[in-house]
Amino acid sequence: MLNYIYRQFFNFRTEGNAIETDVFIKLDIVFALTSLGVFNYITTHDYTDLIDEEKKNTLDWYVTIVIMLIWSRFFLFFLVVPSVSKMLLTLIAMLYDV
């Protein structure tokens, strides 16, 4: 999130050669806002909500979504490096075949 803000500040202060917003910055913004939203949602609940199974399952799903987003961000960054990208795609293909 701060990276996006710094880029916009830099673009505002320069007359030419502005830094473009790439796909990874946009994904970082989505991941940051999702994580922030889930964190705020979880902190509004107290420990008694963990006793109710339906509320606990909802909280578990939100945490699972955030973890999946964090891991997908991790893998997306590794797809940029060609050698790691080939290895990662081979690993995914091997796991899919099993």
Rounded to the nearest angstrom, the gap between the alpha carbon of residue 29 and the centroid of all alpha carbons in its chain is 8
The three-state secondary structure class of 14 is coil
Parse the chain into domains and list their residue ranges.
23-97
Residues 6+ apart with CB under 8 A from 21: 4, 7
| Residue-by-residue DSSP string for 29-67 | HHHHHHHHHHHHHHHTS-GGGGTSHHHHHHHHHHHHHHH
Q: What is the pLDDT of residues 13-66, one digit of tens each?
A: 777 777 777 777 788 888 888 999 999 998 998 888 889 899 999 999 999 999
pLDDT beyond 80 at 97: yes
